[in-house]
Amino acid sequence: MEAFLHQVLSGLATGSIYAIVALALVMIYQATHLVNFAQGEMAMFSTYLAWTMLDAGFPYWLAFAGTVALSFVLGVAIERIVIRPVEKAPVLAVVIVFIGLLVILNSVAGWIYTYTIKSFPSPFPDRTILGGYVSAHELGVMAVTMGVLALLFLFFRFTPLGLAMRAAAQNPVSSRLVGIRVGWMLALGWGLAAAIGAVAGMLVAPIVFLDPNMMAGILLYGFAAALLGGIDNPAGAVVGGLAVGVLENLSGAYLVGTELKLTVALVLIVGVLLVRPSGLFGRVVVSRV
């Protein structure tokens, strides 16, 4: 029973990281209806930026905030420079650009920082709490995830800019007619996705260690989380992330063993697409023809 509870709690912790990755995917999906395959590598690159700042002697939370801000700017820049030219191109062209971005970021990170694994610090104390069931880092990860979700909710629900971003995603033409600069709203979406991804990278790096390939598996879980929760719904993405984390841990411990854990994510992706393509909380779009 104790082992079971432990599996569930640590599943919720890793699930929180999947949830943040899924949130980042949702940011771009909402605006463009495309899944950003480079999301993981963007997060990985951000984490290296944080590592550089920490290496230079910045205090942790300053490096954290600096990385989030810098990632936001880089995300906006990527949209303006790389994505904008293919805005009206067929879907496949954009997907290829995403994959190109993935490969480039991965290689550049390897070139600058080498492929040697680096350790990355956690801002939370190195001990277990709640009677040993959960580590301080795991609890911290959950708290940060909820914080990110709450901030996003407040931003989209209560600020004019958040409203404008939702409007631009839903109805670009009407948005332009009320004076919203739709192109910049897309760029902001990329900035948010990059910033959120940076948070995920910095939280997962203490667990999986920092190297250019660290996000590969996590992105896959993030996809599964986003799909399960409904890829157009931020709250759904978080629920999906937590569910995937717990499911992964339990099936790893009791069903398939650690080697086949990643398969669980793939089975989940295929399963959701077959049974309920809009996810648990996603909007079912019905169009009259």
Asked if residue 84 binds another protein (CB under 8 A), the reply is: no
Return all residues near 235 (Cβ < 8 A) that are at least 6 apart.
149, 153, 229, 281
N residues, the chain: 289
Question: For another protein, which is the closer residue by CB, 33 or 181?
Answer: 181
For residue 181, state whether it binds another protein (rule: CB under 8 A).
yes
For another protein, the closer CB: 164 or 269: 164
Which range touches another protein (CB under 8 A), out of 1-9, 76-84, 135-143, 165-173?
165-173
Taking the C-alpha atoms of residue 225 and residue 208, their distance in angstroms, rounded to an integer, is 19
Measured in whole angstroms, how far is the alpha carbon of residue 59 from the centre of its chain? 24
The CB-of-178 to another protein minimum distance in angstroms stands at: 5
Residue 278 as a binder of another protein (CB under 8 A): the answer is no
Where does the chain have alpha helices with state H? Answer: 2-32, 39-55, 60-78, 91-113, 136-158, 160-170, 172-177, 182-208, 216-229, 234-254, 261-275
Supply the DSSP symbol for 38. Answer: T
Other CB atoms within a 10 A radius of the CB of residue 242 amount to: 24
Under rule CB under 8 A, residue 263 binds another protein: no
- What distance in Å separates the CA atoms of residue 120 and residue 49, rounded to the nearest whole number? 12
Q: For the CB of residue 167, give the shortest distance to another protein in the complex, in Å.
A: 5
Candidates 19-27, 47-55, 120-128, 158-166 — which segment interacts with another protein by CB under 8 A? 158-166
Among 76, 180, 224, 237, binds another protein (CB under 8 A): 180
Contact flag: residue 174 with another protein (CB under 8 A): yes
- Cα distances from 215 to residues 84, 191, 211, 218, in angstroms, run 25, 19, 9, 5
Tokens of 74: 């880089």
Cα dihedral 109, 112, 113, 116 sign: positive
Q: Is 57 a binder of another protein (CB under 8 A)?
A: no
Among 70, 96, 163, 216, binds another protein (CB under 8 A): 163
Cβ at position 232, least distance to another protein in Å: 10
Q: Which of 182, 188, 239, 269 binds another protein (CB under 8 A)?
A: 182
In the bound state with another protein, the residue whose beta carbon lies nearer, of 178 and 274, is 178
Binding of residue 170 to another protein (CB under 8 A): yes
CA 185 to CA 183: how far, in whole Å? 5
| Binding-site ranges for another protein (CB under 8 A) | 160, 163-164, 166-167, 170-171, 173-182, 283
